[in-house]
Structure 1
Amino acid sequence: MRKPFAFLRTMVFVYDGGGSLRHKKHPVSASTTLTRILLRYAASLGVDVQTVTHAAGLSASVLDDAQGRVSVEQFNALWDEIAHYINDPDFGLHFGETASTNPNGNVLYAVLMNSATVGEALECYFRYHALMLDVLQPQLIQQGDNACLTWDIVVPGLVLHRHHAEAVLATLMTTLQHLTEDQIRLIEVWFAHPQPQDIAEHCRIFHTPLRFNQLKNGLVIHQKELSRPIFLADPDLLIALEQFAQQSLENLYGPDTWADKVIHAISNMLLHGDKPSIAQVARDLAVSKRHLQNKLSDEGTTYRALLDRVRKEITLDSLHNPHMNLCDIAFLLGFAEQSTFNHAFKRWTGVAPTVYQQQKEAQ
């Protein structure tokens, strides 16, 4: 029996019923909490915080706001300025190593720490990651017996600073190690940037094979690690923390629409190898099929359109996975015939799947 396609995604950009992106209350950004953590670490290395924040265009009033946000342009500029002032070619890695010692004020870290298992912690990470930084869109993809945690950049043309990319990888690895008391093991680490001249620190920190010049940055673990327990978890505290995190998300983006809820339900069903139907989604959302259809109609969309949208997004992501072929993708997304999948793919992209792959390889 084939294993289900493991797909989890935090929807940073949420589609409205008309097929266009629903406007958020702010552009993509980083939280002031994350920014202050970065500045505190830089200050410990002797960096003049006032100098780098001024150069990055950040004002003290913004940083003093605990619920404030920093534009992605300012956040990237801050990484550039700090890297310029310190003599550490592996600054991002070393910052990531401090993740478990910098949890103060970080609701995302608190949620992860109180999740029951690594898998549940990662689900929370995907769900609430935008509270800290919404320019990155995390996802978990199955590769045989392995699970790969990767990130997409939601701003076209934006390139992540090497130090920033390595900090994200090292931060998550350090956090998972801390939550499991150093029991979790990586299989390999992917870096989108070229290999630096000296990778001694990369080897010391990750203790696993390293692959550079990859399509994406990512951490690869065995799927059995997802069921590993988190020893400090407090289920009662988690309920309160998730309520706070969810309210914080709604303050940023507004409450979920019915389309958002359906997209999330469809993704979860595909994650578990189920074939999503509107009847099953309605049951999961505790409403009748007719009620759900009416709510989606009020938002200008349909269940079929949302299912098609999720299938398209998963398909295009899956084509980056060398361990999956077109037949696997079609089967796991619930297409009865390969020809039906091929027809849908051509409708999505304008070309046949094989032509699309050839074009991507040529690029």
Structure 2
Amino acid sequence: MRDTDLPIRCSTLRGLSALFTESGGSGPELLAAYGFDEASIAEGESFVSLRLAVRVLEEAADRFALPDLGLRLAAQEDLHVLGPLAIAMENSRTIGEAVEYASRYLFVYSPALSLEETDDPLGIPGVAGLRYAGTTVNASPQAIDYGIGIVHRVLKLISGDTPYGLRSVLLPHAPLAPESSYREYFGAAVRFDAPSAVLRVPGHLFSTPVSGGSDLLRDIAVDHLETHFGHQHVPMAGLVAAILDEHLGSRDPDLSAVARLLSLHPRSLQRCLSREGTTFSGVVDRVRKSKALDLITTTDLSFSQIATRLGMHEQSSLTRAVRRWFGSSPSRLRREGQQLEGRSALID
């Protein structure tokens, strides 16, 4: 799979429509031209290819004469654009711990992005670097501005929405907008045409406490991230399962439809799943199995209603599937549901 085919959450594009409208255009119409709708962007769980997201940013910046589009978009975001990672970060004990979680789990937001603590590129004692990068060889300048702008925004938020001592910013491209726009956004000097995108910060920043956090919320969030994404690779099967879980029942599970949601060719999606040791039908079966067990044992829905929710046309299809999955009929499974132990073991 090409780097630009890697998925990124649609929430990346939140706020674009409003920015387009402010600039005299029709935000919804432009997004629709790229195959987006505001509802899918707002709900935040859908994915799009990095290639398409970058194309929207670059072409929209040019079309609406918004050279600082990446920075403007970043300015509208808050920490919770990062989902469960946000909970772990804002409840971290120190800023360093929050950065560590971002470095470890940013791929959940998009496997195309990375953040790492580095030595100061300028070699100044007492200064450290936070390097933001994408996986593409020719990274989009607007995407870089947006990404490192988000990192800056997050650091401010977990610092109590106050300055955190940013010394300067290094960017690997020429200025897209007047340099004053960059200085105003970051509140620090900005150097361009650098080898990589880096926030230069005080070395002691990483030991600075994050106030107001909850150890319990942090532990829950980290446990969730580690359980679901601790394998540290592109979670394609997980992304497909999440899409199926959301849409199952509204239509028949369809490889082409899921591939479109990920902006991938169906054959590319099949190859990705094959590399993870599974198939599209295999993911469908696992999602149905998990959902069937939950609906049968924890609800009073009729079996025909459950079959419909699983995208099955007939109750008999549910009966055959339940016998294959659990060696039992749906009615017996429901009767014995309260006595089942190790429910997760049945799903695995």
Q: RMSD over aligned Cα, in angstroms?
A: 3.1
Per mean C-alpha deviation after superposition, the further-off stretch among 224-233 and 175-184 is 175-184
Q: Distance in 1 between matches of 2:87 and 2:70?
A: 22
Higher relative contact order (CA closer than 8 Å, sequence separation 6+) = 1
TM-aligned CA distance change 1:71 to 1:185, over 3 Å: same
How far has the Cα of 1:254 moved from its partner? 8.1
**Alignment correspondent of 1:163:** 142
**Alignment correspondent of 1:199:** 179
**In the alignment, does 2:235 pair up with 1:253?**
yes
How far has the Cα of 1:190 moved from its partner? 0.4
How far has the Cα of 1:168 moved from its partner? 1.5
How far has the Cα of 1:86 moved from its partner? 2.9
Q: Distance in 1 between matches of 2:20 and 2:230?
A: 31
**Alignment correspondent of 1:310:** none
TM-aligned CA distance change 1:240 to 1:197, over 3 Å: closer
How far has the Cα of 1:42 moved from its partner? 5.0
- 1:83-162 to 2 correspondences below 5 Å: 83-100=61-78, 103=80, 106-143=83-120, 144-155=125-136, 157-160=137-140, 162=141
The residue type paired with residue 154 of structure 2 is: T
TM-aligned CA distance change 1:210 to 1:61, over 3 Å: closer
TM-aligned CA distance change 1:44 to 1:248, over 3 Å: farther
Q: Distance in 1 between matches of 2:205 and 2:30?
A: 40
TM-aligned CA distance change 1:32 to 1:186, over 3 Å: same
- Answer whether contact 1:34 1:132 (CA < 8 A) is retained: no
- Answer whether contact 2:15 2:76 (CA < 8 A) is retained: no
Q: Distance in 1 between matches of 2:42 and 2:180?
A: 37
- 1:311-326 to 2 correspondences below 5 Å: none
How far has the Cα of 1:163 moved from its partner? 2.2
TM-aligned CA distance change 1:97 to 1:197, over 3 Å: closer
* 1:45-65 CA-partner distances (Å, limit 9, x unpaired): 665343333333447896587
How far has the Cα of 1:43 moved from its partner? 5.7
Match for residue 50 of structure 1 among 1, 18, 28: 28
The percent identity for this pair of structures is 16
How far has the Cα of 1:30 moved from its partner? 0.6
Q: Distance in 1 between matches of 2:48 and 2:183?
A: 32
The residue type paired with residue 182 of structure 2 is: H
Match for residue 46 of structure 2 among 61, 68, 72: 68
Q: Distance in 2 between matches of 1:246 and 1:46?
A: 44
- Answer whether contact 2:57 2:69 (CA < 8 A) is retained: no
- 1:219-258 to 2 correspondences below 5 Å: 219-249=199-229, 253=235
TM-aligned CA distance change 1:40 to 1:107, over 3 Å: farther
TM-aligned CA distance change 1:37 to 1:219, over 3 Å: same
For these two proteins, the number of residue pairs brought into alignment is 229
Q: Distance in 1 between matches of 2:15 and 2:84?
A: 13
The residue type paired with residue 196 of structure 2 is: K
- 1:13-24 to 2 correspondences below 5 Å: none
What is the TM-score when the length of structure 1 is the normalising length?
Answer: 0.55
- Answer whether contact 2:8 2:49 (CA < 8 A) is retained: yes
Unmatched runs of 5 consecutive residues or more in structure 1: 1-22, 256-363
Bigger-Rg structure (1/2): 2
**Alignment correspondent of 1:353:** none
Q: Distance in 2 between matches of 1:77 and 1:139?
A: 26
Q: Distance in 1 between matches of 2:23 and 2:56?
A: 15
How far has the Cα of 1:174 moved from its partner? 1.8
The residue type paired with residue 133 of structure 1 is: S
- Answer whether contact 1:118 1:225 (CA < 8 A) is retained: yes
- Answer whether contact 1:47 1:85 (CA < 8 A) is retained: no
- Answer whether contact 1:179 1:232 (CA < 8 A) is retained: no
